[in-house]
């Protein structure tokens, strides 16, 4: 199959936005003497989570944002995590707090997220920020959905009046993305498909843009999309591959080869959505620091 789709370079867009953020960080430091601070709480040692947290900390350092890692064992009690969050909520040098998900099953992710002060919730996951986003109030937008909107605009597509199909209804990506796409300033028509949708291809074949965030490789294939459609692949799945130094390779939720032969543009995995998620986290952390400077 021949790849005809344009590759949407998430790394390039992230690089451009991160240069802007680094300037904003330097300006805040020069004018108010404030260095934005991000605390990252990591519970346990899930390899994918460790790798995300490392990437977030590296990006902070490059932008001039101070990051502090709080590492707790997988056996940590919920009360220990809540105490760590309480301390960070009161710490004036910390403007953003991020708890890397997923958390161990023994801990209530809801209770932990609820404990983060909404003004430091740079992931946009607390009920206060999720509610504000829903009604269009000023708030921290969740990083992956916000980054996806930026990526689609960067691909050259004007979303106004277009049909966007979102696959997956997670609180982190699918649900908030459907809300953002349907906002008046974006103005797309949105269909949200999920595991209860009997035949997704009925919807995806009509879509101008398909965003797949299902957490399962092969969820979207070329036969399911309209020629020229834009495909945004949010999936990051590790497939065993002994020929690779790390013993695995990363694939998205879309079958890249078949989709790239039909789509007009497509994001790669890695190098598509991932760099934007981290970039929007830096953006929110700078915003949080500005508001409290
Ligand atoms: N796990 C997967 N994606 C995310 C994210 O955007 N934020 C946090 N905190 N955890 C995640």
Backbone φ and ψ of 132, nearest 5°: -60, -40
What are the residue numbers of the active site? 56, 100, 123
Q: Three-state SS string across 140-191, please?
A: CCCHHHHHHHHHHHHCCCCCCCCEEEEECCCCCCHHHHHHHHHCCCCCCEEE
Rounded distance, CA 44 to CA 32, Å?
37
Q: Is the pTM of this model over 0.85?
A: yes
Distance from residue 135's CA to the centre of ligand 1 (Å): 23
Residue 100 Cβ inside 6 Å of ligand 1? The answer reads: yes
| Residue of 53, 123, 278 to mutate, ligand 1, most atoms within 8 A of C-beta | 123
> Mind listing the domains of the chain with CATH numbers?
32-119 (3.40.50.10860), 142-274 (3.40.50.720)
- pLDDT of the residue at 293: 78
| Distance of CA 69 from the midpoint of ligand 1 (Å) | 15
Rounded CA separation 220/204 (Å)? 9
pLDDT tens, N- to C-terminus, the chain (293 residues): 788 999 999 999 999 999 999 999 999 999 999 999 999 999 999 999 999 999 999 999 999 999 999 999 999 999 999 999 999 999 999 999 999 999 999 999 999 999 999 999 999 999 999 999 999 999 999 999 999 999 999 999 999 999 999 999 999 999 999 999 999 999 999 999 999 999 999 999 999 999 999 999 999 999 999 999 999 999 999 999 999 999 999 999 999 999 999 999 999 999 999 999 999 999 999 999 999 87
Looking at residue 174, its pLDDT comes to: 98
Is 41 a pocket residue for ligand 1 (Cβ < 6 Å)?
no
Nearest Cα to 143, choosing from 6, 34, 17?
Answer: 17
pLDDT tens digit sequence for 57-91:
999 999 999 999 999 999 999 999 999 999 999 99
Whether the CB of 277 sits within 6 Å of ligand 1: yes
- Residue owning the nearest CA to atom 4 of ligand 1: 101
Does 101 sit in the ligand 1 pocket, CB within 6 Å? yes
What span, in angstroms and rounded, lies between the C-alpha atoms of 167 and 98? 25
Question: What is the distance between the alpha carbons of residues 126 and 23, in angstroms, rounded to a whole number?
Answer: 28
The residue assigned the tokens 């209530």 is 108
């Amino acid at each position: 199959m021949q790849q005809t789709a344009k590759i949407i370079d998430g790394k390039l867009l992230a690089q451009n936005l991160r240069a802007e953020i680094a300037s904003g960080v330097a300006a805040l430091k020069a004018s108010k003497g404030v260095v934005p601070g991000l605390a990252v709480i990591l519970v346990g040692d899930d390899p994918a989570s460790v790798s995300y947290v490392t990437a977030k900390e590296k990006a902070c350092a490059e932008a001039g944002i101070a990051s502090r890692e709080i590492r707790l064992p997988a056996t940590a009690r919920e009360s220990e995590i809540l105490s760590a969050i309480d301390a960070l909520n009161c710490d004036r040098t910390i403007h953003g707090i991020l708890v890397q998900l997923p958390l161990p099953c023994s801990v209530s992710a809801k209770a932990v997220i609820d404990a983060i002060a909404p003004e430091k919730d740079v992931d946009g996951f607390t009920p206060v920020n999720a509610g504000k986003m829903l009604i269009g109030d000023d708030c921290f937008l969740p990083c992956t959905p916000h980054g996806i909107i930026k990526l689609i605009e960067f691909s050259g597509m004007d979303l106004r009046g277009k049909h966007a199909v979102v696959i997956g209804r997670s609180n982190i990506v699918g649900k908030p993305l459907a809300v953002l796409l349907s906002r008046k300033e974006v103005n797309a028509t949105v269909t949200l498909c999920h595991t209860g949708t009997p035949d997704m291809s009925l919807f995806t074949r009509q879509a101008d843009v398909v965003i797949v965030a299902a957490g399962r490789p092969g969820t979207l294939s070329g036969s399911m999309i309209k020629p020229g459609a834009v495909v945004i692949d949010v999936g990051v799945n590790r497939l065993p591959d002994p020929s690779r130094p790390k013993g695995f390779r990363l694939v998205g939720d879309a079958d890249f080869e078949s989709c790239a032969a039909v789509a007009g543009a497509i994001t790669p995995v890695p190098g598509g959505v991932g760099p934007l998620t981290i970039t929007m986290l830096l953006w929110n952390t700078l915003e949080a620091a500005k508001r409290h400077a």
